[in-house]
Amino acid sequence: EGANMGLAEKIQRRAKAISHKPELAGRIHLSSSGAQGEAFPDMDSFVGWASVYDSYIWLRKGLRFIADSIKFLPLMVVDAEGQEQPGHYISELFEYVNDTDNPVSLWEHYVIYKYLGGEFPLELVPDKRGIPVEVWARRPDRVLVVPDMAPERKLYPRIAGYRYEDDKDHLIPPELLWFDKFTHPTNPWRGLNVI
């Protein structure tokens, strides 16, 4: 029976592999359990997918294509009628970004972080008046969501703030961190990558 079971499994596996693409027989798909366990042990994390991004040219090319499609698009603020508001501080903020980054790099980060991590945290740094003067892309795996644990929020979850790299002394208020994410069906706080 053990020999028959082994033979049946082999036939079934081979039939699946060659059912519509015979040239793929014997190959292991990247997202199959064999590939996850052997090549990329931490596949369900941003770091795991970043290692896939580092290792596979097809993933880099795909994300590069998406990033190249948006990185030069101008960002402009418009009013309710769709008229551009020239000189608006948000437009100027995204033209400047910060002292070490530029708009093109920011949108490249947006695509890579969003597709590999399911999230794009963008911290807004205000001046003394509270007006944002810089924006900083943050790695999604290093941003911790701090839920509002007030009893009245139990049925209506809200975020109290964010911590970056487990910095317990610095809580980023929710209005100063734009946390764009793909919907996660089981976690209201985090995003789910599309890969």
Average pLDDT, the chain: 83
pLDDT for the residue 35 = 43
State both tokens at 22: 């015979």
Comparison of pLDDT for 41 and 68, the residue scoring more: 68
With tokens 């097809």, the residue in question is 58
16, pLDDT greater than 60: no
pLDDT for the residue 34 = 43
Dihedral of CA 6/7/8/13: which sign? positive
CA angle at residue 25 from 23 to 29, to 5 degrees? 105
pLDDT grade for 76, boundaries at 50, 70 and 90:
confident
32, pLDDT greater than 50: no
27, pLDDT greater than 90: no
Mean pLDDT of 189-194: 89
In this structure, of 39-48, 114-123, 130-139, 172-181, the range with the lowest mean pLDDT score is 39-48
pLDDT for the residue 40 = 54
